[in-house]
Structure 1
Amino acid sequence: MDPVDPAGILPLDERTLNTVVEAALAEDAPWGDITTTALVPDGVRATAGLSAREAGVLAGSAVFAAAMRLTDPAITVRFHVADGGRFGAGTQLATVSGPARSVLTAERVGLNLLQRMSGIATTTAGYVAAAGANARIADTRKTTPGLRAVERYAVRCGGGHNHRFGLSDAVMAKDNHLAVLTRNGSGDLTTALRQAKAKLPHTVCFEVEVDRLDQIEAVAAAGVDVIMLDNFTTDELVEGVQLVAGRAVVEASGSVNLETVGAIARTGVDVVSVGALTHSVRSLDLGLDIDVEL
């Protein structure tokens, strides 16, 4: 995988970033940090090095810096690696300087978010590399409640792409929706989908999930924008792409892991969505080592 261009990563909205970090800080120290107040004299300053204990891809520098800034504006953070950048074990990623009490108070929240985001970016980069140029790797809505914006930013840092953000910005008819639709006297599937699509603004994407090859023609005939082939074998995916025949974007989902994603991407699908990018990722091992300024 080529390095991600930080300038090409859609940035996090600052208001969203601050909301996430402020909530995390309030959760961790709702009435202040009694440990640092009891043990660390007021007025002591510290410098800290943020270092990588394993290799990975960075995501969340602004989030980490916000944890420090919102705890105490007197803290300064200087990153040496940009979001989307690769690093090896032992790399110093950033330097932090400021009042020791404040740095210690913000440390855990900043690290928690940065470690999780960098874990997502690193995992995503592995999937992107395995898929090659054959298909786009995308995330899903299987995110941590309250952290969707930052987790999806991390996916972008790893070279992946975002699916719909939530229930309000795109139509995605899954198996349960179709079961209700077809059992509620709505006529044949093609007609029902066309009627639903006619209600939408022309700017809204309409995606439909299918889990059998014999469903594809009825869905494609409705003129939907994306057809998701869910839990298909690779042979079925090849056949499914042929049946769609360019009438819609084809997305593959289900049973995707690092061992299978390459073969799935080579079937001709346009997108491979991977819930594991966010729902079961391991946080990267990063550490903050503090020295007191004398």
Structure 2
Amino acid sequence: MQQKSFEEQVRLDVQRALEEDVGTGDLTAALVPADRMALATIICREAAVICGQPWVDEVLRQVAPGARARWLLQDGDQCEPGQKIVEIEGAARELLTAERTCLNWLQTLSAVATKTAMYVEAVAGTAASILDTRKTIPGLRVAQKYAVRCGGGKNHRMGLFDAILIKENHIAAAGSLSSAFKAAQASILPVTFIQVEVETIRQLEEALEVGVKMVLLDNMSLPNIRDAVTLVHGRCSLEISGGVTFENVRAYAETGVDRISVGALIKDIKAVDFSMRFLDKPVER
């Protein structure tokens, strides 16, 4: 399956969102005179990291191609409660139709970026990077992983197609950690990395013996993670996953691991509150 470009994925994301919201037409917006123009502002009602500009711009391209958007903040910027994010001038009918879809993208992606920024700040000063996982809303992976980057985090693999992560079920199916890793090394397909997941110190020792350079410590206790860091002593990169929360992420980071992957960045979010407001006196075209 051929991977889509970022721009094409944004276009398809927005097309799908508009199909489910607008369908055959916006019955309520049709009540507004066709020649009525409007100036609208989108406001964020709480402190947040802004994210979603490419998707909002694409909504306008598809619904209100004559509209002009002036962004006052960029993706990755921090905003304060009540702050204006963007001003949009265009046909009132079209802006009314675009409103909810624009806000949906902003509220969802800003939520991911905001949560990611909290975790990144929590580990500041340590060697650990914050990464996402594949625990995304189906169909929104590109968008949500973009939001993680806007929040200062890093992306793990995009999907099953760009990197190899050998987990416990792969090891069981292959017969051993060594067998699975050697098969990965023999692969002729381009991959960004080969990583092996381990659950015990003994498995970590086996991974080191066969030359694994990236190890994922799965659901290990803090004492065991500290032992793992000591054992590895720079021979491979260490990532931890499982059981990581905002309350304990700093303690995990201080063990000396290189990477911390956190599913909650994407799957446990609360939408950020945005609203669109029109001027009281619309402008005639």
Distance 2:57 2:184 in 1: 45
Is 1:142 paired with 2:135?
Answer: yes
Could you tell me how far 1:30 is from its partner in structure 2?
Answer: 1.7
Unaligned residue ranges in structure 2 (runs of 5+): none
Deviations 1:7-45 (A, max 9, x none): xxxxx82222111111111121120111211x2121111
Q: How many residues align?
A: 277
* Corresponding residue of 2:10: 17
Contact 2:171 2:180 in 1 (8 A): no
Q: 156, 159, 162: which one pairs with 2:155?
A: 162
Contact 1:52-1:90 within 8 A present in 2 as well = yes
Structure 2 residue 53 is matched with structure 1 residue 65: no
Tell whether the 8 Å contact from 1:205 to 1:225 is kept in structure 2 after alignment.
no
Query: Counterparts in 2 of 1:1-294, with a 5 A limit?
Result: 13-37=6-30, 39-134=31-126, 135-182=128-175, 188-201=176-189, 203-291=191-279, 292-294=281-283
Give, in angstroms, the shift of residue 122 of structure 1. Answer: 0.5
Partner Cα distance (1:43, 1:272) in 2:
54
Structure 1 residue 64, shift from structure 2 partner: 1.1
- Does the 8 Å CA contact 1:194/1:223 hold for their aligned counterparts? no
Sequence identity of aligned pairs in percent?
Answer: 40
For residue 158 of structure 1, what is the amino acid of its counterpart? Answer: G
Distance 1:46 1:204, change over 3 A: closer
How far the C-alpha of 1:202 sits from its partner, in A, is 6.9
Residue by residue, what CA displacement relative to the aligned partner does 1:132-156 show, whole Å, maximum 9, x if unpaired?
Answer: 1320000000011111111111100
Q: Secondary structure at the match of 1:105?
A: helix
Over 3 Å counting, the alpha-carbon distance change for 1:192 and 1:175 in structure 2 is: closer
Deviations 1:242-263 (A, max 9, x none): 2223222100101111101100
Render the CA deviation track for 1:218-267: whole Å, top value 9, x for unaligned. 11222223100011111111111222232221001011111011000111
Matches of 2:136 and 2:45 in 1, distance apart?
25
8 Å contact kept, 1:58–1:118: yes
How far the C-alpha of 1:158 sits from its partner, in A, is 0.4
1:78 counterpart SS class: strand
Q: Work out the CA distance in 2 between the residues paired with 1:277 and 1:204.
A: 22
Aligned partners of 1:159, 1:33: CA distance in 2, in Å? 38
